[in-house]
Amino acid sequence: MKFDLECSITLSKEAENLQEELNKFLKDMAGEEARGEIRGDKLHLRVVSTKKRSHQIVLFLYKRLAMLFGKNRIGLRDIHLDRYDIEIELDKEPIKEIEVPYAKVEFDGKKAKILIENKGEEFLWENYVDRIIRLIREKVERQYYEGKKEYWQLIWQSEEKKEAWNKDPSEEMQKRGWIKLMGKGKWFFFPPAASIMRAMEKIAIEEVVKPLGFKEIIQPMHVSFETWIKTGHLEGMPGEIYYICEPKSREIEEWEKFVDLLKIKRKVDEAELMKNLKPPKEGVCYAQCPNIYASLAGKTIAEDSLPLLIFDRSTPSDRYEAGGKHGIERVDEFHRIEIVYIGTKEQLAEIREKLIERYRYVFDDILDLEWRMAKVTPFYLQQAGIVGKEEDELKGTIDFEAWLPYRGDRSKEWLEIQNVSIVGEKYVKAFNIKAQRSQLWSGCSGIGLERWMVAFLAQKGLETENWPKAFKKYLPELPEMPKFL
């Protein structure tokens, strides 16, 4: 490791007479590591360290230098990073070159040589340097699991069920006019289809969510960038988010040209529109849990309110799925119930067991599905050795999947219909959520209503007489489809 930092501090006036005092000061404060030279009103500082990070030493010195010069009625105006040479040792040898903003990076075996030049003072104060180093380590680490699939391990599988048909329910519903595509990956549900979705929702709420004591909340559909920076969504899936722009103004005069062009062209002039919009600072809900955590930020939960059990069904989730869309099962806007649980490890283990038991009841006894459960672990987590440790056995995601007869092959063609996750302390830490005494963990479970519906219809068909009795209790008959000529 080597950190060689050169920077210059602008003084409020010339101060060459203080050179000797400075030499003594640097020797006392940083031994051999720091050297400084005053030229006119500039103090040139060079810090070379093999143990500590030089930028930390500089920040440490800066406050004390302010006092030293202050005694002589000289102020420090700003600090500029002239050149920073860093050499660090990586865990693994990079497979290929990488690029990061603000720095040049070269590799020599496991050694990374980083060069940062000519940067303003926020660079030092805001700790960009440590984040650049972390980013380099992360990018090299990522080269080792790029393209690898998540690890998937079957936990449980139901018996085979005789399928009622092997057609694609989305296509069939479209033929009957029950659903209509409204732009990219967004569907309009006419009464028969809507009633099936609502029946799914009712089952989830009455058979799973309410019996386990989850309480309903209502949240905004917009999610701020601050929230997504904390949860990691903005760095994890920036390409799947629908961004929201505010207008620059609501005054109609400001929109006059836009409206005039619209009246003449009968279509939107995109360039004119963009002139009237602010850059986005938020996006449409991607999953409901981030806003739930944000609502609890900084709070201390009373012991007798643990575990905290809440659920949301107020907002749809939007995702830019691009090429992957299919029917109502992979869409750009879908409807989920998301439940969130915050409590001790023991409480979360118990909630997960109870959830699985209730879900099992729904899939076996109400929807009568052919389904299975699998433990899934993203590849990078396996690599990091996080999986396998006993306490971390609890962490992770269980996917619930159903067979889709219309896609054929029973050994392969399964669809994730929901999941149950325990994320450990990641989110409670990110949002600073605490308890009086207990160590908190959290997790969530997202029930995809379109996915439940597709799984059910793909296996049971659209003819109500083939539907299980227990389901018909929730939907005794389908509302009639309006007739169109």
233 binding ligand ATP? (CB under 6 A): no
Nearer to ligand ATP (CB atom), residue 9 or residue 449: 449
Is residue 321 flagged as an active site residue?
yes
Nearer to ligand ATP (CB atom), residue 119 or residue 233: 233
289 binding Zn ion? (CB under 5 A): yes
Q: Taking the chain, what is the end-to-end CA distance rounded to the nearest angstrom?
A: 77
Pick the catalytic residue: 33, 46, 285, 289?
289
Mask for 441-460, x = binds Zn ion (CB under 5 A)? ---x----------------
Pick the catalytic residue: 330, 358, 372, 407?
330
228 to 287, contacts with Zn ion by CB under 5 A?
Answer: 287
Residue 395's binding partner among Zn ion, ligand ATP, none (Cβ under 5 to 8 angstroms by kind) is none
Alpha-carbon span 93 to 137, nearest angstrom: 10
Q: How far is the CB of 28 from Zn ion (least distance, A)?
A: 53
329 to 388, contacts with ligand ATP by CB under 6 A?
Answer: 330-331, 334, 336
Residue 461's binding partner among ligand ATP, Zn ion, none (Cβ under 5 to 8 angstroms by kind) is none
Mask for 282-321, x = binds ligand ATP (CB under 6 A)? -----x-------------------------------x-x
Residue 444's binding partner among ligand ATP, Zn ion, none (Cβ under 5 to 8 angstroms by kind) is Zn ion
Is residue 246 flagged as an active site residue?
no
The answer to whether 83 and 48 have CB atoms below 8 angstroms apart is no
Nearer to Zn ion (CB atom), residue 33 or residue 338: 338
Q: How far is the CB of 287 from Zn ion (least distance, A)?
A: 5
Q: How far is the CB of 306 from Zn ion (least distance, A)?
A: 19
The answer to whether 458 and 406 have CB atoms below 8 angstroms apart is yes
23 to 62, contacts with ligand ATP by CB under 6 A?
Answer: none
What tokens appear for 479 in the block?
């509302």
Pick the catalytic residue: 282, 399, 401, 450?
399
Q: How far is the CB of 316 from ligand ATP (least distance, A)?
A: 10
Phi, psi for 252 (deg, rounded to 5) = -65, -30
379 to 418, contacts with ligand ATP by CB under 6 A?
Answer: 416-418
Is residue 419 flagged as an active site residue?
yes
Contacts of residue 284, Cβ cutoff 8 Å, sequence gap at least 6: 221, 222, 223, 241, 242, 244, 317, 318
The answer to whether 54 and 3 have CB atoms below 8 angstroms apart is yes
**Strand runs (DSSP E) across 62-140, as ranges?**
76-89, 104-108, 111-119
Is residue 121 flagged as an active site residue?
no
Is residue 451 flagged as an active site residue?
yes
425 to 444, contacts with Zn ion by CB under 5 A?
Answer: 444
Where helices occur in 345-412 by DSSP H, the ranges are 345-361, 379-383
CA 256, chain centre distance (Å): 39
Alpha-carbon span 188 to 95, nearest angstrom: 48
What tokens appear for 223 in the block?
């999610």
Phi, psi for 287 (deg, rounded to 5) = -145, 155
Angle, vertex CA 432, rays to CA 430 and CA 435, nearest 5 = 130
Is residue 7 flagged as an active site residue?
no
Residue 289's binding partner among ligand ATP, Zn ion, none (Cβ under 5 to 8 angstroms by kind) is Zn ion
419 binding ligand ATP? (CB under 6 A): yes
Helices (H) and strands (E) in the chain, counts: 16, 23
The answer to whether 406 and 169 have CB atoms below 8 angstroms apart is yes
Q: How many residues does the chain have?
A: 485
Is residue 338 flagged as an active site residue?
yes
Q: Give me the DSSP letters along 177-233.
A: TSEEE-STT-EEE-HHHHHHHHHHHHHIIIIIITTTT-EEE---SEEEHHHHHHHTH
443 to 462, contacts with ligand ATP by CB under 6 A?
Answer: 446, 448, 450-451
Pick the catalytic residue: 85, 269, 321, 413?
321
Residues lying near Zn ion in the complex (CB under 5 A) are found at 287, 289, 444
Residues lying near ligand ATP in the complex (CB under 6 A) are found at 287, 319, 321, 330-331, 334, 336, 416-419, 446, 448, 450-451
Active site residues: 289, 319, 321, 330, 338, 399, 416, 419, 444, 451
